[in-house]
A and B are shown apart, each in its own frame.
Chain A
Amino acid sequence: MATPTAAPSRGRYLARRVLRLLVSLWIVLTLSFLMVHLIPGDPARASLGLTAPQELVESRRAELGLDRPLPVQYLTYLGDLARGDLGVSFTSRLPVSRLIGERILATLHLAGLALVVVLIAGVAAGLLATVVAHSGRHRGTDLAFSGGSGVLVAMPEFVTAVGLVAAFGVTLRWLPVAGLAGPDSYLLPVLALASGPAAALARIVRAEGLRVLDLEYIRTARAKRLTRSRLYLRHALPNCLTATLTVAGLTLSSLVAGTVLIENVFAWPGLGSAIVSSITQKDYPLTQGLILVLSGIVLLVNFAVDLLIMAVDPRSALGEV
């Protein structure tokens, strides 16, 4: 009476996700190509300023390839990209791929470390809050959790960062507030980046946990007379994971965006500080390359989260066909 084996539907789910990833990547590629063309007026003129001599503008037009027909430009762009050539920065005259290569690790370290903090702190705090709320005792603790996490969620990361700088950098003078030098320079940026998402995750875990704990199979588990820790960790937690991971995935991609702000507060030598200066300096090739890379990271993260959800929840493959 069993339905057909689950393997084919999982395969199909996977194929769909890969297809979605490829299509998204293509859209991002195309949009970043179009960026220069969407700039109102003449982008070459815009990047050089109104007073630049005409021949300089012409040579920049040629450098951007704007003097050729659009389809040719698009194909050249794709071809260059395939070879890892993202063009040359206007301001530094260095290859964009090299500039990105020099900075990407700083950003990935920052985002990665923040993610670890978000997952560990968020899930742990959420589980504790679930247990507290479900027991029905400790109403005060439950309220404090809701209020505190609500405020943390509402704090934009750059505001948290400014607060942390004011407290630990300026007033207490305990920690460095600018640049990347030694492990202690990670502390404030990671904290600023992670506190909001961790609080959001904890709230989701609590809400999901309370929902799951009222379900019938938890009653079955209670009927098995398991210990409380086994009940929470083996039966409730895995069932909260789908929703948790979905939210964590969204948080994670916003974490990548958050690095842009945080890097500018802490003068972090990563992609985020580079993209802002490239935009203000109208360094279009660099902006294009950075948007491409940051978007690519976001898309890959979303894809990885989808795979994780599939691994954790056998039903997800069925619901999504």
Chain B
Amino acid sequence: MSPLARFTAWAGLAILVAVAVLAPILLDGPAGRIDPANALLPPGGGHPLGTDELGRDVLARVLVATRLSLGISVTATALGVALGVLVGALPAVVGRRAARLIGAGVNLAVAFPALLLALFVAAITGGGVYGSTLVIALALAPVFARLTQTLAASVQGAEYVAAARLLGVGRARLLLRHVVPNVAGPILVTAMIGISGALIVLSGLSFLGLGVQSPDVDWGVLLNQALNRMYTNPAYALAPAAAVVVGGLVFSLVGDALAVTLGLQPPPPRRGGRTPRRAAAVGDPGGALVHAERLAVTVPLPNGADVRAVRDVTFTVAPGERVGVVGESGCGKTMTALAVAGLTGPEARIGADRLEVLGEPLPPGGRGAGRRLRRTLGTSLAFVFQDPLGSFNPVSRIGGQLAEVAVVHAGLTRRDALRRAVTRLADVRIADPERVARRYPHELSGGMLQRGMIAMGLMNRPRLIVADEPTTALDVTVQREVLALLDRVCGETGAGLLLISHDLAVVAQTCERVLVMYAGRIVEDLPVAALTTGPAHPYTRVLLASVVDMATDRSRPLAAIPGRPPDATADPPGCAFAPRCPRAAGRCATELPELIPVGDGHRAACWHPIGDTA
């Protein structure tokens, strides 16, 4: 909600209140003076909206009616809120069985249209000012009962309430001191919106002749009288109609504004522009599966700052090669994987001197991929995501989700594709694949789903498999199986692998080469074998030291890396690891080290590499 909308809300409220208070005092004359000689005049002269059937000024009548319309709406809402809160809070004080009964009753009443409830009550009370107030209060109460119930339930589960209960605070006191203050905000906001609902129901009832009765006048009564004079003075009807709409809008706006003021709703995020910083240059398609030069990914934050998730990353993946990317969370490894697969979200900005996958240049941002590129990526690049349950569409069956790939890209019929899906599920060692293919994602375990995700990648012939933390969400025993499966699949198909993990042990077990990332940059690129013989970058050393295995000496504290990774929105001049680095000295804090060769197939970005072999 913009500041302007908030200002409009409060200004609108002030004007409405002023009109409700002043109009009956100042405009009693023109609104009440009966002058049959000037009946049903069109707008003009002394009457901006014309006159009614008795010659009274329409505008004055509409303004004077504000008091009754708003008065009843506000009073009725207050009554409805009080009643609703009372009923809604009851389950907290009565026994469990009574509470369930009340809950069920409230649920039933909420599903019932307020107007129908109001008609029912109106049939009993017969309208009038007081009758209508009661009718609307009763019709609104269920909404607030339900809201109170929901809020109270969430508050009751909160820790501070549990603590108060442990201290022996009584039920009534608990309700008054702990529950009520915490539910008051949302209820106040909803009450404002409730007033606009009350206004609409009241106007509807009065319009039908079941609410306020003449000679009392509210907007609904005026609208009813005007409808019959529509052909002689249309402006007569439009004035009260507009009043109802404006009144309703103002109170909903006030509700929204109040929510922002009370801090119940964050102001909506602004989506940043997404013009690419630099288009990816087209180059000759070398033999590499991935060829990235000076790749950068920037994601705008709602507050306007930019997160520079990936900065100047250069690397290649050769055909059949298995490359691991490791680093702490937030180091940019997942963004790198997504950028390579052309799967970053629409808000991310991608720039690169060169970004080619499977020999094809990627368009910036992964958008507007042409038909040919889509087919190449769809058939030859498989992506395995971190959270297997979240990554399957919850409303369609596993078999269908696998088959879709072959239907879309290989032109198979649905039946053939489903048959292939079952075969692939069997290939990833899923028992009873035909039954599993008919299951929905939520009916399967995480390990099963991750196998299914790998099987999905195998539906066509992948040349590159990108796996983003494929085992993080799984149990340890299942982790080993999934890694072994990835290993076997790569071996059998000859596909290359880009494995993203925060776990150096996982990468060492599966890959040939490791890229170590820190603060959006590759700080070291080394063969897995070199991990044991000696990494050159101090960061890789500490990362290695924090790996826990059976040989770890448990009598000593676990190795942890002191300090925290730098703010991803900041852009310090020197090496990003310098503040945490034991070897930092001299230019480390002021000059950025380039990623340069330090050995055979070994690169590092460090001013003081360990065991300087170059």
B393 interface residue (CB < 8 Å to A): yes
A105 interface residue (CB < 8 Å to B): no
B116 interface residue (CB < 8 Å to A): yes
Is A287 touching B123 in the complex (CB atoms < 8 A)? yes
B363 to chain A, nearest CB (A): 13
CB closest chain-A residue, reference B393: A217
Within 8 A of A (CB), among B79-109: 104, 108
Is B113 touching A1 in the complex (CB atoms < 8 A)? no
Is A298 touching B204 in the complex (CB atoms < 8 A)? no
Residues of A within 8 A of B113 (CB): 253-254, 256-257, 298
Residues of A within 8 A of B408 (CB): 224-227, 230
Q: Mark A74-103, 1 if CB is under 8 A from B, else 0.
A: 000000000000000000000000000000
Is A154 touching B204 in the complex (CB atoms < 8 A)? no
A171 interface residue (CB < 8 Å to B): yes
Residues of A within 8 A of B387 (CB): 216
Is B230 touching A2 in the complex (CB atoms < 8 A)? no
Is B443 touching A254 in the complex (CB atoms < 8 A)? no
Residues of B within 8 A of A136 (CB): 271, 274, 346-347
A214 interface residue (CB < 8 Å to B): yes
Within 8 A of A (CB), among B352-392: 369, 374-375, 377-378, 381-383, 385, 387, 390-392
Interface residues on B, range: 35 or more
B73 to chain A, nearest CB (A): 13
Residues of A within 8 A of B191 (CB): none
A219 to chain B, nearest CB (A): 6
- Once A217-B390, A219-B391 are accepted as A-B contacts, the answer to whether A166 and B208 lie under 8 Å apart by CB is no
Is A31 touching B115 in the complex (CB atoms < 8 A)? no
B287 interface residue (CB < 8 Å to A): no
Assembly CA distance A136 to B231 (angstroms) = 47
A52 interface residue (CB < 8 Å to B): no
A54 interface residue (CB < 8 Å to B): no
Residues of B within 8 A of A1 (CB): 444-445, 447-448
- Once A2-B436, A35-B123, A219-B343 are accepted as A-B contacts, the answer to whether A159 and B234 lie under 8 Å apart by CB is no
With most chain A CB atoms within 10 A of its CB, the pick from B248, B271, B382, B395 is B395
A51 interface residue (CB < 8 Å to B): no
Q: Mark B96-134, 1 if CB is under 8 A from A, else 0.
A: 000000001000100111111001101111100000000
Is B116 touching A154 in the complex (CB atoms < 8 A)? no
CB closest chain-A residue, reference B238: A166
A18 interface residue (CB < 8 Å to B): no
Assembly CA distance A2 to B445 (angstroms) = 6
A243 interface residue (CB < 8 Å to B): no
Residues of B within 8 A of A302 (CB): 111
Q: Mark A165-195, 1 if CB is under 8 A from B, else 0.
A: 1100111000000000000000000000000
B562 to chain A, nearest CB (A): 34
Within 8 A of A (CB), among B220-264: 223, 226-227, 230-231, 234, 237-238, 241, 244-245, 248-249, 252
Within 8 A of B (CB), among A1-54: 1-3, 6, 20, 23-24, 27, 31-32, 35, 38-40, 46
9-residue interface stretch from A55-63, A65-73, A121-129, A309-317: A309-317
B24 interface residue (CB < 8 Å to A): no
Is B378 touching A162 in the complex (CB atoms < 8 A)? no
A291 interface residue (CB < 8 Å to B): yes
**The one of B104, B123, B409, B440 that contacts A225, using a Cβ cutoff of 8 Å:** B409
- Once A219-B343, A280-B209, A315-B442 are accepted as A-B contacts, the answer to whether A165 and B230 lie under 8 Å apart by CB is yes
B200 interface residue (CB < 8 Å to A): yes
A321 interface residue (CB < 8 Å to B): no
Is A291 touching B395 in the complex (CB atoms < 8 A)? no
Assembly CA distance A250 to B390 (angstroms) = 29
- Once A134-B346, A136-B271 are accepted as A-B contacts, the answer to whether A260 and B394 lie under 8 Å apart by CB is no
A103 to chain B, nearest CB (A): 16
Is B385 touching A235 in the complex (CB atoms < 8 A)? no
Is A156 touching B390 in the complex (CB atoms < 8 A)? no
Is A314 touching B440 in the complex (CB atoms < 8 A)? yes
B396 interface residue (CB < 8 Å to A): yes
Is A166 touching B234 in the complex (CB atoms < 8 A)? yes
Assembly CA distance A102 to B112 (angstroms) = 25
Is B393 touching A239 in the complex (CB atoms < 8 A)? yes
B546 to chain A, nearest CB (A): 28
A295 interface residue (CB < 8 Å to B): yes
Is A2 touching B122 in the complex (CB atoms < 8 A)? no
B405 interface residue (CB < 8 Å to A): yes
Residues of A within 8 A of B396 (CB): 238
Assembly CA distance A162 to B241 (angstroms) = 8
With most chain B CB atoms within 10 A of its CB, the pick from A165, A225, A241, A295 is A225
Is A220 touching B394 in the complex (CB atoms < 8 A)? no
Is A295 touching B116 in the complex (CB atoms < 8 A)? yes
B345 interface residue (CB < 8 Å to A): yes
A198 interface residue (CB < 8 Å to B): no
Is B444 touching A2 in the complex (CB atoms < 8 A)? yes
B210 interface residue (CB < 8 Å to A): yes
Is B210 touching A222 in the complex (CB atoms < 8 A)? no
Is B392 touching A217 in the complex (CB atoms < 8 A)? yes
B368 to chain A, nearest CB (A): 10
Is B343 touching A222 in the complex (CB atoms < 8 A)? yes
Within 8 A of B (CB), among A255-309: 256-258, 260-261, 264-265, 275-276, 279-280, 282, 284, 287, 291, 294-295, 298, 302
A175 to chain B, nearest CB (A): 14
Is A159 touching B244 in the complex (CB atoms < 8 A)? yes
CB closest chain-B residue, reference A46: B126
B341 interface residue (CB < 8 Å to A): yes
B404 interface residue (CB < 8 Å to A): yes
**The one of B112, B125, B231, B382 that contacts A253, using a Cβ cutoff of 8 Å:** B112
Is A24 touching B394 in the complex (CB atoms < 8 A)? no
Is B227 touching A165 in the complex (CB atoms < 8 A)? yes
B144 interface residue (CB < 8 Å to A): no
A233 interface residue (CB < 8 Å to B): no
B173 interface residue (CB < 8 Å to A): no
- Once A253-B113, A298-B112 are accepted as A-B contacts, the answer to whether A261 and B207 lie under 8 Å apart by CB is yes
- Once A2-B439, A261-B204, A298-B112 are accepted as A-B contacts, the answer to whether A166 and B391 lie under 8 Å apart by CB is no
Is B204 touching A35 in the complex (CB atoms < 8 A)? no
Residues of B within 8 A of A260 (CB): 115-116, 119, 208
A120 interface residue (CB < 8 Å to B): no
**The one of B204, B347, B440, B443 that contacts A156, using a Cβ cutoff of 8 Å:** B204
Residues of A within 8 A of B116 (CB): 256-257, 260, 291, 294-295, 298
Interface residues, chain A, with chain B CB atoms under 8 Å away: 1-3, 6, 20, 23-24, 27, 31-32, 35, 38-40, 46, 134-136, 151, 154-156, 158-159, 162-163, 165-166, 169-171, 214-217, 219-227, 230, 234-235, 238-239, 241, 250, 253-254, 256-258, 260-261, 264-265, 275-276, 279-280, 282, 284, 287, 291, 294-295, 298, 302, 312-315, 318
Beyond contacts A1-B445, A166-B237, A254-B113: 10 other A-B pairs, Cβ-Cβ < 8 A, are A1-B447, A156-B245, A166-B234, A216-B390, A253-B113, A261-B208, A280-B209, A313-B394, A313-B395, A315-B394
Residue pairs across A and B with Cβ atoms less than 8 A apart, 6 shown, are A1-B444, A31-B120, A136-B274, A166-B237, A216-B385, A225-B374
